[in-house]
Every structure is written in C-alpha cells, then in structure tokens.
Amino acid sequence: MSPSILFRRVAIAEAVTWALLLTGMFLKYVTKTTELGVQVFGMVHGVVFIAYGLTTLLVAADQRWSAGRTLLGLASSIPPFATVLFDRYAQKRGALGAQWRLVGSDPQSALDRPVAWLLRNPARGALAGLVAVIALTGVALLVGPPAGG
C-alpha cells in the first residue's frame, strides 16, 4: 500500500469516527436519550485518532515532510473532518507519494533507519503499529478523558 493510499484511508477513518462521536454527543447532550454513543464512539475515535497520529509521523518521516507540514498534519486531527482537508492539501502539493522512499533507498538519518525497517518488514511493521496504538490507548485511558468529559 502506498503512502498516499494509507494516509487517505486513515484520514477518512479519523473523519468518520469524528462524525460518529459528534452523533453520540448530540444524542447525549441535545436529545438526552443515551450516553452509549459517546462511550462507544469516543473510544473508537480515540483509537483511530492515535492511529492517524502515528500514520502521520510514519508518512512524514518517509516522505521528508518539513516540521511545519508534519505539525499541520498532526494538528488537523483536532478539528472535526480536518484530516480530509489536510489529505487534499498534501496530495495537491505532492507530499504523498505513490511509493515509500525508504523501501528502495538506504536510510540516511537515525530516524530513517527504524522507519525503513518498519516499511521493509510490513507484517512486523503493522504489528509494531498495532502494539503502539494499543499502548498509547492504554496510556490515554490511564490519564482519563479530556477535561469536562
């Protein structure tokens, strides 16, 4: 899977989970019918939010994004649906390639080496990504919900 396709899929998933969470919030706070939507979709959104952040960092390292572009990509996960807008922005500017740079070239920096390993070993890389999402979700659960949650 190319950086462009992976990033787009995760960006869309993050936006969809935002929509589900907002629906749950509407049911909880406006109609006052149920809290189940916030409980379920809040957790789902949190997991996908973390996955989007990790995907952004992976793609940014491989595609040699500037710090500013990387921060913009990460920040786009905060407002609802902005990940889709950032994906369009990155596509238009050629920031999302059709190939992984580090699969076919030698790592040049200390950051490139682990990213290259993840990309050259897709099954292990996917497992490492899954473990990272689970670990960061666990940390988030320990810290607790956002203020006012």
The 10s digit of each residue's pLDDT in 42-83 is 999 999 999 999 999 999 999 999 999 999 999 999 999 999
Say whether 95 sits in a helix, a strand or coil: coil
Domain boundaries, the chain: 3-143
Give the number of C-alpha atoms closer than 13 A to the C-alpha of residue 115, restricted to the C-beta side: 24
DSSP secondary structure string for all residues of 96-122: S-SS-HHHHS---STTHHHHHHHHHSH
Predicted TM-score (pTM) of this structure: 0.92
